[in-house]
Chains A and B, each alone.
Chain A
């Protein structure tokens, strides 16, 4: 019973992810990406991590998708396939290499989870008991305090970067 929603959401995510790659119109790709991200949020809910799901919807489906859409509009939308064939010839071998590496990595992860492994601390039962927001907060302000503070530096760099990019005097 419990695995039905998982398989539904997983299939939805995979199909939509294929859509992102296959769609000719970049706005359709963005729309498919929104479906992928929302399906992932659903998977987080199934894992008793609603805080993560809400963050996923808020930041990815809400904000990053809007950025993608604005970038598409910035670059003038047009259907793909207008570029002359063979314009990026060297891309093909690179794509094979990196794609192969990704498949190998996925296979490895899959094998590791099929083989018996120990479960981590943050199991769905544990999260459901103490609440996912509390778990995130507790981890953030104890073990991960330094990464948390460094995140603010990262955001600062991003702010400076976007100003330098967008406010260049033409």
Chain B
């Protein structure tokens, strides 16, 4: 099993070594050579991560359409490729050759830059995730805080999308989306504090290692009650933060058409759509990393465990989406401020008091 567990780290080491050998022939100075090798390796890793991300999201889109169809007693996409697997690819190509409509009096610059800003945060979060043993592209000391900070950039892009469209529905949708995202960011960020408390570090690698005991089953979700409560609060606020269906007020078709995306078409719309699924996928990955032990697990290689856990959370999210009716705006805000925030705060106090007591009785 070690072979499969280390296969990607070994490929990395082998490629770096090979590059090193290749550059030996050029008789470069020692430091220039090693800098060149690490630069090339960084670019390679980043490209692999981005490709991985796109692949995951294409699968996610296919899975969601198939799943939605099953729950609604339909068949779903089944024409393009086996089981309709190539449907997302066909959609991408279709989107690429669609007309890009800019409504009159709309702000061209803002209208164009908004989808690009929205797409940036989830991509930057992908870089700090430990995908397996020793498979972390960038191990930051402030890992968790980095994710939180980067996630907060997306709100401004959503607002710009609404503002730049010169459409009443767009602007209203953008404003509502921002209000919702910031409201749910509070419980989401608060609920990670107990995890940092238990580990004593914000590095995602350290958080993963702290969950590796008991044959990889010492996950924080089992650290009853603190970890369990934290996980539930995290998952609900994450679903709301990315605007999945029970919480999709900003895009509620029956009220404000498609919210901030109303006036978008073609590739710009595709970028918004892609960002939405990137976000959904990445919050599930983070949930799996922080609460479900990340790549820890018995027998199977680490990366398989992480992907399996992520897809478990993804399927749960899809199930919730398909079976729950949409909240009203006031219910949504109340749920964040009056239910999730107090629970998260009490949870922090609980963790802060329980941890020293556990330590005193030698647990």
Interface-located stretch among B41-49, B149-157, B311-319: B149-157
Contact residue among A62, A70, A131 (Cβ-Cβ distance under 8 Å from B141): A131
Q: Are A57 and B110 in contact (CB under 8 A)?
A: no
A34 at the interface (CB under 8 A from B): yes
Taking CB atoms, residues of chain B closer than 8 Å to A69 are: 156, 159, 178
Contact residue among B152, B159, B163, B178 (Cβ-Cβ distance under 8 Å from A58): B152
Taking CB atoms, residues of chain B closer than 8 Å to A31 are: 110, 156, 160
The bracket for how many chain B residues form the interface is: 20 to 34
Taking CB atoms, residues of chain B closer than 8 Å to A58 are: 145, 148-149, 152
Q: Are B145 and A73 in contact (CB under 8 A)?
A: no
Q: Are A66 and B150 in contact (CB under 8 A)?
A: no
Taking CB atoms, residues of chain B closer than 8 Å to A62 are: 149, 152-153, 155-156, 185
Contact residue among A66, A131, A133 (Cβ-Cβ distance under 8 Å from B156): A66
Shortest A97–chain B CB gap in Å is 35
Q: Are B159 and A133 in contact (CB under 8 A)?
A: no
Q: Is the interface of A mostly helix, strand, loop or mixed?
A: helix
- Annotate B87-115 by CB proximity to A: 1 below 8 A, 0 otherwise: 00000000000000000000000100000
B202 at the interface (CB under 8 A from A): yes
**B-facing residues in A83-140 (Cβ within 8 Å):** 131-133
Give the distance in Å from the alpha carbon of A58 to the alpha carbon of B153 in the complex: 8
B136 at the interface (CB under 8 A from A): no
The bracket for how many chain A residues form the interface is: 20 to 34
Q: Are B110 and A27 in contact (CB under 8 A)?
A: yes
**Complex: chain B residue closest to A58, CB-CB:** B149
B182 at the interface (CB under 8 A from A): yes
Q: Are A50 and B142 in contact (CB under 8 A)?
A: yes
Q: Are B145 and A54 in contact (CB under 8 A)?
A: yes
**Complex: chain B residue closest to A73, CB-CB:** B175
Shortest A84–chain B CB gap in Å is 26
List 28 contacting pairs A-B, 8 Å CB cutoff, sorted by A. A27-B110, A27-B160, A27-B163, A28-B110, A31-B110, A34-B156, A50-B142, A51-B142, A54-B148, A54-B149, A55-B149, A57-B150, A58-B145, A58-B148, A61-B156, A62-B149, A62-B155, A62-B185, A66-B156, A66-B159, A66-B178, A66-B182, A69-B178, A70-B178, A132-B141, A133-B141, A133-B142, A133-B145
- Among all A-B residue pairs, the 4 with the closest Cβ atoms: A62-B152, A57-B149, A54-B149, A58-B149
Q: Chain B: residues with CB nearer than 8 A to chain A?
A: 110, 140-142, 145-146, 148-150, 152-153, 155-156, 159-160, 163, 175, 178, 182, 185, 202
Q: Chain A: residues with CB nearer than 8 A to chain B?
A: 27-28, 31, 34, 38, 50-51, 53-55, 57-58, 61-63, 65-66, 69-70, 73, 131-133
